[in-house]
Amino acid sequence: MEILGIDVGGSGIKGALVNMETGEMITERYRIPTPKSRKPKEMAEVIAKIATHFDYKGPIGCGFPTVIKKGVCMTPGNLHKKWKGIKVDELFSEATGLPVTVINDADAAGYATMNYGAGKGKEGLVIMITIGTGLGSGAFLNGTLIPNFELGQIPYKNYDKIESWAAASAKEKENLSYKKWGKRFNIFLEYAELIVSPDLIILGGGTSKDWDQFKEYITIETPIIPAQLQNDAGIIGAAAAAHHFKN
């Protein structure tokens, strides 16, 4: 079975068709830049364009970069404030004319990793950290998702949330070396380790592919491994979530 997975990010919205048996993308990723406004209507139009691009008529899975509860955006995150309270799954379903399952983007990446990647078969509390515009986090206890586990929202010093200081976007904005940024990211991981005591941390998102360039600055005791699926995990996991909830 093939399902369209869509990964909504702060800079781009990406989609591909995914084989649910193997967890492999069977098409190239199709990417459209996230509208500068980051408002609901404009972003819904992009979702529809991606579905049209693939001439797709089935269920859609969508990873979304905010806290999602029963399809509702609970906080705007790095998007426009108008998102708060929007029932995202209904908005995207109306735009596409297709059934859409929406979950937190880090949860989606975790779904992919736990079902098809580095987390498959891992027991205990596994935390998936996605490094991108923000710091997403997905939690799995013995393979079962604990939704909306948003560790990147922890306040830190003069910042409303630590992700504003330690995400990949901060590295780019401040032109930080991997050493300087890696030490910041390590502080975030220290908080994560202190608060939830995970058995394993898996790093995803685009920056995870550069693990060898900053791993020497990571000093926490919890084992850490990079995600095998890296930047494709959001798309694959979104499709897997749609398949799971459909069944």
Residue 246 has a pLDDT of: 60
Q: Is residue 31 part of a domain?
A: yes
Q: Which domain holds residue 41?
A: 2-107+233-246
61 phi and psi angles, rounded to 5 deg: -110, 135
Same domain, 9 and 92: yes
Do residues 50 and 128 both lie within one domain? no
Instruction: Look up the pTM and report it.
Output: 0.80
Burial class from Cβ neighbours inside 10 Å (0-12, 13-18, 19+) for residue 166 reads buried
**What parts of the chain have a pLDDT lower than 70?**
246-247
**83: its two tokens:** 């998102």
Q: What is d(CA 102, CA 23) in angstroms, rounded to the nearest whole number? A: 18
User: Does 132 lie in the same domain as 209?
Assistant: yes
In a domain, 113, yes or no: no
The CATH number linked to 129 is 3.30.420.40
Judge whether 187 and 77 are in contact, CB under 8 Å.
no
- What's the pLDDT score for residue 247? 55
Angle at 215 between CA 11 and CA 23, to 5 degrees: 55
> Is residue 88 one of the residues assigned to a domain?
yes
Query: What is the count of structural domains for the chain?
Result: 2
Question: What pLDDT is stored for residue 214 in this prediction?
Answer: 97
Residue count (the chain): 247
Give the model's pLDDT for residue 231.
75
Same domain, 150 and 197: yes
Q: What is the dihedral of CA 214, 218, 223, 227, to 10 degrees?
A: -30
Strands 12-19 and 68-69: unpaired
Assess if residue 219 is contained within a domain. yes
